[in-house]
Amino acid sequence: MVASMSSSSRNLRAREALEFHSKGRPGKIQVLPSKPLTSQRDLSLAYSPGVAEPCLEIARDPDLVYSYTARGNLVAVISNGTAVLGLGDIGPLASKPVMEGKGVLFKKFADIDVFDLELDCRDADHFIESVAALEPTFGGINLEDIKAPECFYIEEQLKQRMKIPVFHDDQHGTAIISGAALINAAELQEKKIEKMRVVVSGAGASAIACARFYISLGIDPANILMCDSKGVLHTGRDLSTRPLKQEFARETEARTLADALVGADLFLGLSRAGLVTPAMVKTMAPKPIIFALANPDPEIPYDAAKEARPDAIVASGRSDYNNQVNNVLGFPFLFRGALDVRATGINEAMKVAAAHALAELARKDVPQVVAAAYGNTFTFGPDYIIPKPFDPRVLHWVAPAVAKAAIESGVARLELNLDAYSEKLRGLLGGATAVMRRFVRKATSDPRRIVFPEGEDPRVLQACAILDEEHIAKPVLIGNKERIRALVKEHEIDLDFGGVDLVDPNTDEMREEYAEVFWRRRNRKGVDRPLAQTLMREPNYFGMMMVAEGRAEGVVSGLNHSYPDTVRPALQVIGLRPGGRRIAGMYLMLHKSGLKFFGDTTVNIDQTPESLADIAEMIADAARLFDVEPRVAMLSFSNFGSVKHKRARMVADATTLLRSRRPDIEIEGEMQANLAVNYELQRKIMPGTRLTGPANVLIFPSLEAGNVAYKLMRELGGVSAVGPVLLGTNRPVTALERDCTVDNIVLMTALTVVSAQLRDLDRDQLLSAT
């Protein structure tokens, strides 16, 4: 893949990667306190003298370390940098970005905290001593990017010495995920695992671990042929100095990979690109299984393998084809289950349980949330044999299976009610970021033409390069064409003008017609023909008219305009949706507990019961577009009539009005914000509450309150805010914040595209992303 990229593409990727790692706080991780430290009392409890009490308790009973410290949820990702990804031996310091990245995946997928440790230890025994001494600190050890054969020796020695899970993901991660794929592929191809003939290309750490794991799954060791760079490992080769390879030397006449593949049922590639030809896979047994997992390019391209053998099931390590074998399906959930039963190690039974759990999950009906995330539907079969990495079910499916295996195999130090544990895991990770990823995936399923009136802003150009490359949208850039091309060259933006349209209002042939249409619509509202002509030279007005006249399907603007200057043309040109009474601004707050919808945050300054009811209705309907069943709280400084004031009465009247208008929506109020999100407190204060859980749609009594609330949560609470989302326009209109980043432009454009898709479905509520 890298070799096939253009020089400009590589330069762009390099700049993006370096900026990603350097902007703001350098790196990808930070440490945050889990207890309040706001007073002298807090400090005296967190440190001296109060900290002595848990110390004494742990000294008395070492198991209490799990009650009084973070050890039970803390994993060390440790490397010496001798075999880093495809970069080789780059040393411990240069490996740190990779180890931080591994830590991010642990946290994101399984809520496991990580310290990354890069050790300057090339000697295996020195490395072992250093890691073993860390046992009191961590609940588990993830070894990473250590070269073979030392990695085998290091892991084995540490597993013997340490009483916490030790796991080398480079060995076992691919083994578990490809093992799950093997289980399902064998079933689909009607092959008995114990009779399958397996050919492995590669004899490194991952290949050997996979071969060993396949034996645990039922493959007959005698039926495995392994090939290294010199050919088949056979008994005629002198492998006395390579005991790991000697383990897989077989009595065979096959000498080359091509020889070995004749009649083989399964090919497992963990070597390098281009080693397997279509002619070679044609010699495999009927209904073959081809796992070409070399990265970034497989031993044989996916399409070539399928063309040569239409009856084959093919998997690769790439995300752009079906059946991606991705280690992120394994290690976070394996450690989650191991940590939660305080396992003394990760044994073969736990790894086999993880593989079978993944295989079983792939056979279940795939929920809509996964299909929407990838813009595709999935059904168990040749093109879907393992779950997708962003399937939210993996956590509460795999971790309990691992925990159960740990308990049954005797390495667990803690018993669990597995049903309750599985239910707990369902709420462990907030689904907010997954929802946003799903909207990006949904946009890619049917990209739409989106107008960018600020086509001469470098941020817009960078975003459009991403939007076009990832097929999220079909960008239309408004501005001077030569100026846009010059900016692209000046900033070295990899923008393909073959997929992006350039439109200059000053020269566009439709400008005069647009001006006439606009004049006819607004000539009784102070717009004469000269003013209409002038406004159609303005990018915002021209872009809105392109959408109104069907030349594009959405607008994204606002980086260089005030919010009113973006919204005003939208209302004048595009207008309200049919039957709409007003527009409203909404923010999506990506809280760990799930998406929260705030409104109104940007549009309506003065409220009435009618306007609050309208806003609540629009936002509740918008929540359903995000697959969130709305629970609406009408916020006030009063709780259910506790304060007799006209502003509290306004909120209460709005609640009554919307309840009568839309009995299908859960709505309660007026109430204070803490009651809205604290359901136990809410039920205590109001036992008859009409909400079935904490509110996720929060309607503020004034624009000041909503605007202040989302900004405080974003700045002080560290909660990501997506928006503003403009509701109620007749076409999708996006009004970006002026400090919007390239990533946010991409995300907001994806929401705009999805809004356009939903409009085509004639949905009652149209979502216009801004």
Mind telling me the catalytic residues? 47, 102
Beta strand 631-635 pairing with 224-228: unpaired
Cis peptide leading into 609, omega within 30 of 0? Answer: no
User: What is the rounded distance in angstroms from the CA atom of residue 157 to the CA atom of residue 125?
Assistant: 9
What gap in Å lies between CA 650 and CA 670, rounded to an integer? 9
Q: Are 553 and 731 in contact (CB under 8 A)?
A: yes
Whole-number Cα distances in Å, 741 to 563, 676, 722: 16, 32, 12
Q: Which two tokens stand for residue 114?
A: 């990580």
Residue carrying structure tokens 């004034």? 702
Rounded to 5 degrees, φ, ψ at 228 are: -110, -165
Q: Sign of the CA dihedral 528, 532, 538, 539? A: positive
176: left (phi over 0), alpha (psi -120 to 50) or beta: alpha
Beta bridge partners of residue 669, listed in sequence order? 634
Q: What are phi and psi of 36, to 5 degrees?
A: -70, 140
Of 455, 381, 389, 396, whose CA–CA distance to 426 is shortest? 396
- Residue 105 in 3-state DSSP? helix
- Give the number of other Cβ atoms within 10 Å of residue 410's Cβ: 11
What gap in Å lies between CA 295 and CA 301, rounded to an integer?
Answer: 11
Give residue for tokens 């790196």: 27
In the three-class reduction of DSSP (H, G, I as helix; E, B as strand; rest coil), residue 310 is classed as: coil
CA 439 – CA 362 distance, rounded (Å): 22
234-258 in b/e burial notation, b at 16+ Cβ within 10 A? beebebeeeebbeebbbeeebeebb
DSSP E strand stretches across 672-742: 697-699, 720-727, 733-735
Give the DSSP per-residue string, 329-398.
GTHHHHHHHHHHTT-S---HHHHHHHHHHHHHHHHSPPPHHHHHHHTS---SBTTBSS--TT-THHHHHH
Query: Helix (H, G, I), strand (E, B), or coil: what is residue 294?
Result: coil
